[in-house]
């Protein structure tokens, strides 16, 4: 709702542009609880005021509110869906319909079936009004269930009508990956195994499972983050240049990349994948409980809250270049960063004692927070003695463009309304991603729950994750802004504690 409200503000400021909502639109909430249009509006006003305090304005809300309605039905009740269709006609509401399924995963198929049976899901094309559907992750919980969901969707909607949200794709910094790679002649010629040593992706959260313990128990970090967000980042950073900016041209290349990932079969999982589970600890100065103590979590749960793995892309561009991925909850900082590490310079001149060894060049894309891009390179420290030091060129979105970038959902909801599917995940993309993670999940789930390594909340994961990358002679890194010793390295050599769950 904050995203829709902000789109409406854009509409008020610049009506009729292709980046605002159309003049005539309505938002209808559908659920079981007893509410009137008025009580629903009051509830939403409170949320929008709270979550969009910078843009909330009483007068704009007064114009927005009459467009909001509430329709009460149980998803199981077909008559409720038919009544919704009748209401659209009786109240002369716009007939183009975008159904946004912000529902629990086990309700998705029920709602799709009802949309089809009630006639609300209209076939694509022709002269009649369009209907589209937005689905939130998770898109299934393995390859078989994702396929079943896609098949069921096909009975009601064509693929062109389906918009699968991965909110990472709505982020400016994620969209900028393609601009950085393909609108600059500087980087793309170097973007391959000849010049790059390896790529790292870090997606860390400081929060735990919050109130979603029940959900998380069934998911874990691989299903919750790797299958979707990580695969999206990985495919954008590693895909081949698309033939055009057409949504399908881009998505074709992304799928191709995911399909080029070298499978990690069950017997290789132990050597390439590390899982972890947070124990009690301290995050941002606050004592926090361990995963087993969280509400909705089984005391002997084997669900992972951290995963790190090494992947390879089997194509000509990436031959032999490892991709190190790590994601976890209750880490010391909230960071999403992709770093591209260049090959070290030869051990001559400055890369030898007494000057070296030197840190290699790193290009880091900070997806969130401190959105920006940093390039680490070597400079001479002023003075008679030759001393080499790593420094950074740093681009910051906030410094360059001022106001915070629009929220991801704002862009995604507008694109779905405009029918532009570029930033949404296609069915074959979802299935290719499951095809890669399924064997990893199966191999992990076959192991005893008690064997999962622990890490103290507030640390960068279990020591096994450091050992994974250090056995290849590399270290986990996150580039920090505006600091002389720019690279923060995480490893057993660093001053950090490890714990066991
Ligand atoms: N919450 C999060 O932090 C979060 C994060 C990431 C993704 N998501 C995704 O967002 C979606 C919604 O998650 P949520 O946690 O907000 O779910 P939720 O709290 O269960 O909300 C589901 C909504 O559907 C309604 N509903 C539930 N069962 C219904 C039924 N049988 N018939 C009609 N209406 C029904 C509920 O209202 P009534 O009780 O009034 O029916 C409620 O408005 C899911 O796809 C989830 O995966 C959520």
DSSP annotation of 313 = B
Average of per-residue pLDDT across 444-448: 91
Strands 196-204 and 273-279: unpaired
Ligand 1 centroid–CA 467 distance in Å is: 40
Looking at the CA of residue 33, tell me the nearest atom of ligand 1.
Answer: 40
Burial (CB count within 10 angstroms: exposed 0-12, middle 13-18, buried 19+), residue 176:
buried
Q: Is 102 in the pocket of ligand 1 (CB under 6 A)?
A: yes
Concatenate the DSSP letters of all residues of 66-135 into one string.
GGEEEEE--TT-HHHHHHHHHHHHHTT--S-EEEEE-S-GGGHHHHHHHHHHTT-SPPSSSSSPPEEEEE
Confidence of residue 364 (pLDDT cuts 50, 70, 90): very high
Beta carbons of 142 and 438 less than 8 angstroms apart: yes
In the prediction, which pLDDT does 489 show?
66
Q: How far apart are CA 31 and CA 206, in angstroms?
A: 32
| pLDDT at residue 10 in the model | 83
Best mutation site among 40, 72, 74, 102 for ligand 1 pocket (most ligand atoms within 8 Å of CB): 102
The predicted structure's pLDDT at residue 354: 86
Q: What is the pLDDT of residue 487?
A: 59
CA distance 290 to 499: 11
- Note the pLDDT tens digit of each residue in 215-240: 999 999 999 999 999 999 999 999 99
**Atom nearest to 136 CA in ligand 1:** 45
How confident is the model over 83-112, as pLDDT tens digits? 999 999 999 988 899 999 999 989 999 999
| Distance in angstroms (rounded) separating the CA atoms of residues 434 and 411 | 26
**Which residues make Cβ contacts (< 8 Å) with residue 86, sequence separation at least 6?**
none
- Helix or strand (DSSP H, E) at 427: helix 427-445
Over 60: is that where the pLDDT of 498 sits? no
pLDDT tens readout for residues 376-428: 999 999 999 888 999 999 999 999 998 767 788 999 999 999 899 999 999 99
Query: Across the chain, how many H-helices and E-strands are there?
Result: 15, 18
Q: How far is the CA of 102 from the centre of ligand 1 (A)?
A: 6
Q: Tell whether the model's pLDDT for residue 69 goes beyond 60.
A: yes
Packing angle, helices 427-445 and 247-259, rounded to 10:
20
Domains along the chain with CATH numbers: 2-168 (3.40.50.720), 172-497 (3.30.360.10)
Nearest to 330 by CA among 217, 460, 463, 218: 460
pLDDT of residue 501: 28
Number of C-beta neighbours around residue 375 at 10 A: 18
Whether residue 313 contacts residue 321, with contact meaning beta carbons closer than 8 Å, is answered with: yes
Token pair listed for 468: 């994974």
Percent of the chain with pLDDT over 70: 94
Helix axes 247-259, 231-238, angle to 10 degrees: 100
Rounded CA gap, 376 and 252, in Å?
32
For residue 163, how far is its CA from the centre of ligand 1 (angstroms)? Answer: 18
Dihedrals phi, psi of 356, to nearest 5 degrees: -100, -170
Q: Which atom of ligand 1 is nearest to the CA of 105?
A: 45
Please write the tens of the pLDDT for every residue from 307-332.
999 999 999 999 999 999 999 999 99
Average pLDDT on 162-176 reads 93
If pLDDT is split at 50, 70 and 90, which confidence band does 125 have? confident
Three-class SS of 164-214: EECHHHHCHHHHHHHHHHHCCCCCHHHCCCCCEEEEEEEEECCCCCCCCHH
pLDDT of the residue at 18: 64
How far is ligand 1, taken at its centre, from the CA of residue 257, in Å?
Answer: 33
H/E run at residue 478: strand 476-479
Quick one: which atom of ligand 1 is closest to the CA of 108?
A: 45
Distance 107 CA to ligand 1 centre (A): 9
Structure tokens at 405: 């970038």
pLDDT > 90: percent of the chain:
80
Kindly list the catalytic residues.
Answer: 229
The burial of 501, by beta-carbon neighbours within 10 Å (0-12 exposed, 13-18 middle, 19 or more buried), is given as: buried
Q: Is the Cβ atom of 103 under 6 angstroms away from ligand 1? A: yes
- Nearest CA to 310 among 264, 266, 267? 264
Query: Nearest to residue 304, comparing CAs of 335, 330, 333?
Result: 330
Beta bridge partners of residue 19, listed in sequence order: none
- 121 vs 485: which has the higher pLDDT: 121
Q: For ligand 1, say whether the CB of 74 is within 6 Å of any of its atoms.
A: yes
Q: Which of 177, 309, 310 is nearest to 233 (CA)?
A: 177
Q: Residue 406: what pLDDT? A: 75
Quick check: CB of 210 below 6 Å from ligand 1? no
> For residues 359 and 361, what is the distance between their CA atoms, to the nearest angstrom?
7
Count of Cβ atoms closer than 10 Å to residue 17 Cβ: 9
Please state, in angstroms and rounded to a whole number, the distance separating the CA atoms of residues 228 and 283.
Answer: 26
DSSP state of 228: I
Cβ–ligand 1 distance for 500 under 6 Å, the answer: no
- pLDDT tens for each residue of 262-293: 999 999 999 999 999 999 999 999 999 999 99
pLDDT tens, position by position, 329-355: 999 999 999 999 999 999 888 888 888
Closest CA to 97 of 109, 81, 80: 81
Span 131-167, pLDDT tens digits: 999 999 999 999 999 999 999 999 999 999 999 999 9
Q: Has residue 496 got a pLDDT over 50?
A: no
Q: 104 CB under 6 A from ligand 1?
A: yes
Arithmetic mean of pLDDT, 11-19: 71
Quote the mean pLDDT of the chain: 92
Which atom of ligand 1 is closest in space to residue 74's alpha carbon? Answer: 32
Q: Given pLDDT bands bounded at 50, 70 and 90, which one contains residue 491?
A: low
What is the pLDDT at residue 12? Answer: 79
CA–CA distance from 319 to each of 27, 188, 256 (Å)? 49, 16, 15
Pocket test for ligand 1, best of 30, 104, 115, 296 (most atoms within 8 A of CB): 104
pTM of the model: 0.92
């Amino acid at each position: 709702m904050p995203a829709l409200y902000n789109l409406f503000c854009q509409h008020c400021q610049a009506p009729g542009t292709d980046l605002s909502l159309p003049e005539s639109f309505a938002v209808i909430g559908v659920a079981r609880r007893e509410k009137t249009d008025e009580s629903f509006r009051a509830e939403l006003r409170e949320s929008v005021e709270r979550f969009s305090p910078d843009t909330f304005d009483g007068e704009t809300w007064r114009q927005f509110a009459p467009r909001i309605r509430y329709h009460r039905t149980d998803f199981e009740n077909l008559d409720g869906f038919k009544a919704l269709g009748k209401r659209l006609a009786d109240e002369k509401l716009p007939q183009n319909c975008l159904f946004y399924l912000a529902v629990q995963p086990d309700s998705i198929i029920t709602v799709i079936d009802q949309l089809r049976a009630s006639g609300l899901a209209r076939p694509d094309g022709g002269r009649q009004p369009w209907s589209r559907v937005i689905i939130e992750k998770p898109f299934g919980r393995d390859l078989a269930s994702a396929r079943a969901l896609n098949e069921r969707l096909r009975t009601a909607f064509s693929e062109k009508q389906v918009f699968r949200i991965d909110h990472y794709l709505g982020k400016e910094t994620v969209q900028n990956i393609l601009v950085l790679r393909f609108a600059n002649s500087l980087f793309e010629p170097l973007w391959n195994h000849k010049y790059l040593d390896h790529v790292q992706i870090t997606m860390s959260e400081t929060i735990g499972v919050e109130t979603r313990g029940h959900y998380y128990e069934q998911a874990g970090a691989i299903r919750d983050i790797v299958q979707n967000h990580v695969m999206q980042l990985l495919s954008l950073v590693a895909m081949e240049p698309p033939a055009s900016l057409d949504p399908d041209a881009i998505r074709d290349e992304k799928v191709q990349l995911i399909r080029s990932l070298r499978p990690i079969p069950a017997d290789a999982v132990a050597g390439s994948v590390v899982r972890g589970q947070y124990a009690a600890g301290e995050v941002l100065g606050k004592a926090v409980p361990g995963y087993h103590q969280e509400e909705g979590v089984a005391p002997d749960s084997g669900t992972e809250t951290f995963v790190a793995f090494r992947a390879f892309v089997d194509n000509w561009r990436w031959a032999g270049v490892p991709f190190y991925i790590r994601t976890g909850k209750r880490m010391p900082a909230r960071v999403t960063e992709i770093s591209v590490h260049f090959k070290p310079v030869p051990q001559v001149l400055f890369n030898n004692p007494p000057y070296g060894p030197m840190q290699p060049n790193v290009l880091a894309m900070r997806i969130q927070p401190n959105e920006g891009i940093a390039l680490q390179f070597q400079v001479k420290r002023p003075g008679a003695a030759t001393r080499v030091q790593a420094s950074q060129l740093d681009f910051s979105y906030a410094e360059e463009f001022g106001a915070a970038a629009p929220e991801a959902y704002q862009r995604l909801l507008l694109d779905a309304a405009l029918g532009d599917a570029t930033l949404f995940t296609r069915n074959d993309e979802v299935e290719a991603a499951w095809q890669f993670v399924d064997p990893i999940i199966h191999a992990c789930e076959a192991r005893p729950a008690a064997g999962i390594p622990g890490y103290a909340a507030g640390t960068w994961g279990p020591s096994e994750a450091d050992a994974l990358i250090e056995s290849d002679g590399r270290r986990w890194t996150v580039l920090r802004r505006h600091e002389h010793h720019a690279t923060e390295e995480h490893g057993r050599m660093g001053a950090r504690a490890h714990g066991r769950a």
